[in-house]
Amino acid sequence: MAKIEFQNIHKSFGTTKVIENLNLTLEDGKFNVLVGPSGCGKTTLLRIIAGIGPATSGRILLDGVDISNVPPGQRGVAMVFQSYAIYPMMTVRQNIEFGLKNNRVPKAERERRISEVSQIVGLEPYLGRKPSQLSGGQRQRVALARAMVKEPTVFLMDEPLSNLDAKLRAAMRSELVQLHKQLQTTFVYVTHDQVEAMAMGDCIILMDQGRIMQQSDPETMYRDPDNIFTAQFIGTPPTNILGLESESFKLGFRPEAISLSVNPAPDKAFTHRVSILTREMLGAETLYKLRLRNGQEVMARLTDSSLMVGDELYLQVDEENLYFFDSEGNRVRKTLSQQYGAMLERVTRSHES
């Protein structure tokens, strides 16, 4: 049971302000993923929760209790570091046991927990080994076991999979999700990889330059972005953003929302004549780079692989797949009907001119 609240958090390193006045609540029991480009402040937030990189000002609450001044070891949190930070001079067992000994957990209890945890992560045969005798994946498991054995109320993970090869990473991804199901505790997981975030998180917190751009479940994050940043960060290739002549707002649509045809259908909200610049056949899907007549380029992701470079076609997008953004880059939703209606009308008319 642990809800984490950040209240008016400021953090600066020297004169560089990394986070300014941030407020955020991470719900209990969720698999929270902090995602964003490097330098966005996600790891900084994680370290604030852990207490190893305290905030410059502001409060951090754990289940309503201010823990801003509680030492890291007494917060009931455990962390898996990107570099694993396994104690190189201790055996696997000693690594897992170290925190328990420090917290004066009785020997019988320690033994029970170690055997339980090492069974879950599959380290039983390696308990007597030194970290230098383990593979990357095994070290990762040691780091995990060391965190799990403390039975923390909050699990913190700082890009724990980034040092693994692609295959192992995919396997560990689903293992971590299962682990979360099993433990039912609050996870806070930091990554720069939006695919990882989407695949694992119940709740994604997307950050940029120390600010929270959007906090939602993966589905909403993908289908209903709050702003251009979210629309472009989540999904590959990123959402196409178009500026329209003599308009201050911007238009966005995902590459997979595009349909291309020789003859335009009449009922589409957005229609534009395009020519195909490049074609990348990816297997199930094909990526096309398209040039609009005004020179702007967009990406399309289609299951149809029959189109060829140089083809001249009509690009069309349904109204429900169009996103409108104001001049600040924030989304204009249909609920603001007046603005939205005006924008839609202009877009629908734009190809006729």
Partner 1 sequence: MVAPAMTFLAIFTFYPLANLVYLSFFRYNLISDKVFVGLTNYRNLLFVKKDFLQALENTVVYSFAVVFFTILLAILFALWLEKDSWFNRFIQKSMFTPYLIAMVSTAYIWSWIFDVNSGLLNAALALIDVSPLRWLNDSSLAIWCIVIVSVWKSLGYYLLIVLASLKSIPREIIEAAELDNTPWLRKFVRIILPMISPQIFFLLITITISSFRVFDSVQVMTNGGPGNATDVLVTYVHRYAFQMNMRVGYASAAGSVLLFILMVLTIFYFRFLGRKVHYQ
Q: Which residues make up the interface to partner 1 (CB under 8 A)?
A: 50-52, 71-74, 77-79, 81-90, 98-99, 102-103, 132, 146, 150
Q: Are strands 240-243 and 250-253 parallel, antiparallel or unpaired?
A: antiparallel
Q: Which is nearer to partner 1, 30 or 150 (CB)?
A: 150
Q: How far is the CB of 182 from partner 1 (least distance, A)?
A: 22
User: Count of CB atoms within 10 A of residue 122's CB?
Assistant: 13
Q: How far is the CB of 235 from partner 1 (least distance, A)?
A: 32
Q: Which is nearer to partner 1, 77 or 164 (CB)?
A: 77
Q: How far is the CB of 133 from partner 1 (least distance, A)?
A: 13
Q: Which is nearer to partner 1, 88 or 310 (CB)?
A: 88
Instruction: State the Cα–Cα distance between residues 216 and 218, nearest whole angstrom.
Output: 6
User: Count of CB atoms within 10 A of residue 352's CB?
Assistant: 6
Q: Which is nearer to partner 1, 88 or 266 (CB)?
A: 88
Alpha-carbon dihedral angle through residues 102, 156, 28, 224, given to the nearest 10 degrees: 180
Q: How far is the CB of 194 from partner 1 (least distance, A)?
A: 25
Residue 187, judged by CB atoms within 10 A of its CB (0-12, 13-18, 19+), counts as buried
Q: Which is nearer to partner 1, 77 or 234 (CB)?
A: 77
Conformation bin of residue 31: beta by default, left when phi > 0, alpha when psi is -120 to 50: beta
Which residues are registered as beta bridge partners of 317? Answer: 270
User: Which residues make Cβ contacts (< 8 Å) with residue 315, sequence separation at least 6?
Assistant: 258, 259, 260, 270, 271, 272, 273, 274, 290, 292, 298, 300
Instruction: State the Cα–Cα distance between residues 166 and 255, nearest whole angstrom.
Output: 25
Question: For residue 102, which of 115, 87, 116, 117 has the smallest C-alpha distance?
Answer: 87
Cα 314 from chain centroid (whole Å): 34
**3-class SS of residue 158:** strand
Angle at 254 between CA 196 and CA 199, to 5 degrees: 15
Instruction: State the Cα–Cα distance between residues 45 and 34, nearest whole angstrom.
Output: 9
Q: Which is nearer to partner 1, 73 or 137 (CB)?
A: 73
Q: Which is nearer to partner 1, 81 or 340 (CB)?
A: 81
Q: Which is nearer to partner 1, 51 or 235 (CB)?
A: 51
Instruction: State the Cα–Cα distance between residues 219 and 225, nearest whole angstrom.
Output: 10
Q: Which is nearer to partner 1, 50 or 198 (CB)?
A: 50
